A and B are shown apart, each in its own frame.
Chain A
Amino acid sequence: MPLDDELSDLNPLELDALKEVASIGAGNAATSLSRMIDSKIEMSVPKVDILPVADVPEIIGGAEKLIAAVLVRIEGEINGGVLFTLDTASANLLIELLTGMDINIEEEMGELEASALKEIGNILTGANLNAFSKMLNIKIKPQVPALAYDMSGAILEVCFIELGQVGDYALVIETDFLSDLEEDINGNFFLIPNPDSLQVILNKLGVSDV
């Protein structure tokens, strides 16, 4: 069955089940981040949506908006990727909290900045994936994180296409950060399973009628 049919066939029960797992993942990630930067961080209840692929860049504020993005591919019983995005100010803030250095990635994205961002992405996606792995009782192998700092449209487009969401619609599991820091952290998680893996997840959740 083509992915588009499959996606548009997802019923409210299946979407809710996905949301449930995503919530636990986001909670885990928030705890890890709080610990890492020693400030209270929470995550919003994830939004689970099926969107036309062309609308995806709008989620982050337009296709030309600059974002730092860490992509972690996943392999194992489910394949695809987890994408973690931050706007420029939030990326600077998190790097500063982590390294104690005053940073502006818009001026320079050096080794230090890049590895700090990858590390943050790694820890957050790892915490998130752990929840999925436990709840679904499946093995997920995260790969080495990759970093890009560029237009959100270009980054999201590549992730959705390359990870196999080649249909006209994309499954987007999106979580926002809420922090008690003076400045907001504007970040998002996207879980992008490939089409077969989406089926595996639904089967494991026991909500698939296939």
Chain B
Amino acid sequence: MSKRIRVRMADIKVGQADDIIITSGLGSCIGLTLYDSRTKVGGMAHIMLPKFPANKKKGNPAKYADTAIEMLLEQLESKGINKRRLEAKMAGGAQMFNLVNTNSKMRIGARNIEAVKEELNNYKIPLLGSEVGENYGRTMEFYTKTGEAKIKTVKHDDIIL
């Protein structure tokens, strides 16, 4: 049976076979999927911020790029995937409002994109597709059967990564 699995903000979910993993309304956040095509096991993280704050002891690891990827990897490994076979796709990181005087601190979307790329690089996970940046919201649907990610937006046609 195929399941539709919802991923909320700062949340991580894994699925397999016919499952569809969905996160809605990505703005500056990143939807990141990791997938092993041989076992058809995949997972998605809805990442809000680039880095787990150094001065904070506790917090939700699913919220930050560095700790979310680590957590997603752990959950996938417990499903028996091989780390070396993983491939990644990402969507989001938009700047929703065009603001005058936007300083770099405000461009969270762009910082999130960079942080996720850097972490993928650290883990040597290839990034097979990305639909990021710009100024519009996105919904990401990930099909564990095929490894395809469908990106839905309000103003544009669907994109398949």
Give per-residue flags for A144-180: 1 if the beta carbon is below 8 A from chain B beta carbons, else 0.
1011111111111110011000101000000000000
* Chain A residues within 8 Å of B100, by CB: 143-144
Interface of A is mostly: mixed
CB of B56 within 8 A of CB of A2, answer: yes
CB of A153 within 8 A of CB of B101, answer: no
A168 to B10, CA, bound (A): 9
Q: How large is the interface on B (under 10, 10 to 19, 20 to 34, 35 or more residues)?
A: 20 to 34
Known: A57-B25, A168-B59. A158 touches B108 (CB 8 A): yes
27 contacts between A and B (CB under 8 A): A54-B8, A54-B10, A57-B24, A57-B25, A62-B24, A66-B154, A71-B97, A143-B100, A149-B154, A150-B27, A150-B136, A150-B137, A150-B155, A151-B138, A153-B26, A153-B137, A154-B96, A155-B27, A156-B25, A158-B94, A158-B95, A158-B96, A161-B28, A161-B29, A166-B48, A168-B59, A168-B63
* Chain A residues within 8 Å of B56, by CB: 2
Interface of B is mostly: loop
A158 to B136, CA, bound (A): 11
CB of A161 within 8 A of CB of B48, answer: yes
* Chain B residues within 8 Å of A2, by CB: 56
Known: A54-B9, A148-B96, A150-B136. A161 touches B49 (CB 8 A): yes
A193 to B1, CA, bound (A): 45
Partner of A157, one of B48, B99, B106, B135: B48
Q: How far is the CB of B36 from chain A (nearest CB, A)?
A: 27
CB of A64 within 8 A of CB of B26, answer: no
Show the binding face of B for A, using Cβ within 8 Å: 8-11, 24-29, 48-49, 56, 59-60, 63, 94-101, 106, 108-109, 135-139, 154-155
Known: A53-B10, A64-B25, A161-B108. A155 touches B96 (CB 8 A): yes
Partner of A73, one of B8, B29, B95, B99: B99
Q: How far is the CB of A110 from chain B (nearest CB, A)?
A: 14
Partner of A150, one of B96, B98, B101: B96
Known: A64-B24, A152-B25, A154-B96. A162 touches B106 (CB 8 A): yes
CB of B24 within 8 A of CB of A153, answer: yes
Shortest Cβ distance from B27 into A: residue: A154
